[in-house]
Amino acid sequence: MKRREFNKLIAAMAALGAVEMPMGITRAYGQTKGGVLNSILQPEPPMLNLAVNQQTPTQTVSGKIFLSLLTYDFDLKPLPSLARSWEVSADALTYTFHLEPNVKWHDGQPFSATDVVYTATEFLPQTSPRARDIFGRCASITAPDANTVVFKLKEPFGPFLSAFDIANLPVMPRHIYAGTDVVKNPANLKPIGTGPFKFKEWVRGSHIQLVRNEDYFRKGQPYLDGLIYHIIPDGASRALALEEGTVQLTQWTDLELFDARRLAAAPNETMTTKGYEYFAPILWLDMNNRVKPMDDKRFRQAVMHAVDREFIRSKILYGYGRVSTGPISSRTRFYDANVRKYDYSVPKATALLDQMGLKPDASGIRARLSLLVPPYGESFTRTCEFLREALSKIGVAVTLQTTDAGGWAQRVANWDYQMTVNSLYQFGDPAIGVTRAYVSSNIRKILFSNTEGYSNPEVDKLAQAGASETDPAKRQAIYSQMQKVLVDDVPVAWLCELDFPTIYDKRLQNVVTTAIGVHESFDKVFFKG
């Protein structure tokens, strides 16, 4: 998009005076309170309730509206959120959380421990790819009084205290959802939370506006008057919006990576790759293990050899990341690099396909497959195009299919795909963010579960043992063995560990303060004069 056309777009957006959509910073300099933060949301999410939809754009907005019991520092140690304090019993079976008093939902109704119990026992087991495995380990979840929640485990679960971030336990209002179809509840589009910002409006294709929650339980916060997330589909226009100062913050895949380094060098901008430690996402090629020839691990191994992953890291991701060695990120706990290595080798790949008996036809084609392209920007598109080219060299003809964010989520969740590119959060511990994608018990029609349909009883046993063990050394041994098995089976083709640049106006303070980064509540963010 040319600059003149972009300026016309901005003028048209500003003309929406009836929706009170400020463009740029609107507070007086020198104050620590006031102003509207303009950011980007890419792509436009299907809904705004991360308890139902856990795609990244949904989480980014929802993190300002909803809260969980805890958040986590850069070393993944727990910090207070809705829980002001907590205790763990000596036998590591009872976790007691003391909640902040006098918290209200955005509709004025009182928040209480019963909302937490309802969310963990009734809501999330219907929608979350992780809740059954996490909270299903509880013998009971109770609210002895309005400000106390007690989780009693059936057996020790080492990472349990790491499971209370906004993505794993976004606390939902029981009075809004109980007795309803939670997936279709209208509040998913007009959310009611306890966070520092309230939902005001969503103009499809234009913007999502949040405003300050004047009844927020932390007095004097938030400092901002509100946030506006602008929906700007075109990558060049998103870059120009930051360059022109129309937006003051970009995150995740808002910017194409080839623009990021240039824009981060601007004198009025700063950039960090911190704030993704809790997520530590790995980019992978998801292969539906139910679909031939992907049901044979030799085919999946061949794919690992056929793809030059260093090219993806250096040329497509512009150096933002590292080549993956397996299912656990090198940035999180219990990583082990001592696993089978898949070097880039077309001859090794074709030898595996020959071994399978997957011979080329007269056109040199051994198999025909479709690849569903995620709608998350140019990097994902270019990765898919590169994968198509790479697989063509071993006789696998790939057809690319495109869709929007909602369509992509629906198709993957319903197993209605052959291949796609995906990235899953690790959530600080394999028992929370990794094994959910590989254990047989989590083969469910829910996005970000084991949608590829992989099943191996040995992995199931190792995953259970790793979750139940509390000794770190023993957990390491278990997860090292699990990594070896998974890397041999290749349920998905791991490509790269992802880094993302968060670029923001230097006047913004406290943007990235924890390991969940831009998914934080932003109750402490302010503009410095």
pLDDT averaged over every residue in the chain = 92
Q: Is the pLDDT of residue 16 over 80?
A: no
Binned at pLDDT 50, 70 and 90, residue 504 comes out as very high
Count of alpha carbons within 13 angstroms of residue 364, beta-carbon side: 6
Domain 282-498: what homologous superfamily? Dipeptide-binding Protein; Domain 3 (3.10.105.10)
Mean pLDDT, residues 158-171 taken together:
94
- Can you tell me the distance from the alpha carbon of 362 to that of 395, in angstroms, rounded to the nearest whole number? 11
Q: Is the pLDDT of residue 5 over 50?
A: no
| Beta pairing, strands 249-250 & 148-153 | unpaired
Binned at pLDDT 50, 70 and 90, residue 133 comes out as confident
- pLDDT in the model for residue 327: 98
Q: Is the pLDDT of residue 401 over 50?
A: yes
Q: Is the pLDDT of residue 19 over 70?
A: no
Mean pLDDT, residues 165-194 taken together:
96
Residue that the structure tokens 């299907």 belong to: 46
Residue pLDDT, tens place only, 281-315: 999 999 999 999 999 999 999 999 999 999 999 99
> Contact, 211 vs 200, CB < 8 A?
yes
- State the architecture of 3-66+195-274+501-527 in CATH terms: 3-Layer(aba) Sandwich (3.40)
- pLDDT in the model for residue 2: 46
Q: Is the pLDDT of residue 92 over 60?
A: yes
Binned at pLDDT 50, 70 and 90, residue 422 comes out as very high
Residue pLDDT, tens place only, 475-503: 999 999 999 999 999 999 999 999 989 99
Binned at pLDDT 50, 70 and 90, residue 125 comes out as very high
Q: Among 19-23, 299-303, 366-370, 448-452, whose mean pLDDT is lowest? A: 19-23
pTM exceeds 0.85:
no
Q: Which of 170, 226, 173, 220 is nearest to 197 (CA)?
A: 226
Binned at pLDDT 50, 70 and 90, residue 27 comes out as very low
Q: Is the pLDDT of residue 23 over 50?
A: no
> Contact, 62 vs 187, CB < 8 A?
no
Positive or negative torsion for Cα 178, 60, 287, 431 = negative
- pLDDT in the model for residue 11: 47
Q: Which of 494, 274, 239 is nearest to 383 (CA)?
A: 494
Residue pLDDT, tens place only, 57-74: 999 999 999 999 999 999
Mean pLDDT, residues 511-518 taken together:
96
> Contact, 301 vs 343, CB < 8 A?
no
- Can you tell me the distance from the alpha carbon of 174 to that of 114, in angstroms, rounded to the nearest whole number? 8
Q: Is the pLDDT of residue 22 over 80?
A: no
Residue pLDDT, tens place only, 253-279: 898 888 888 999 999 999 999 999 999
Burial of 78 (0-12, 13-18, 19+ CB in 10 A): middle
- pLDDT in the model for residue 31: 46
Give the distance from CA 39 to its chain's centroid. 18
Residue-range domain boundaries for the chain:
3-66+195-274+501-527, 70-177, 282-498
Q: Is the pLDDT of residue 124 over 80?
A: yes
Q: Which of 160, 143, 147 is nearest to 82 (CA)?
A: 147
CATH topology of domain 70-177: Dipeptide-binding Protein; domain 1 (3.90.76)
- In residues, how long is the chain? 529
Q: Which of 207, 278, 279 is nearest to 44 (CA)?
A: 207
Mean pLDDT, residues 79-88 taken together:
98
Residue 302's CB: how many other CB atoms inside 10 A? Answer: 32
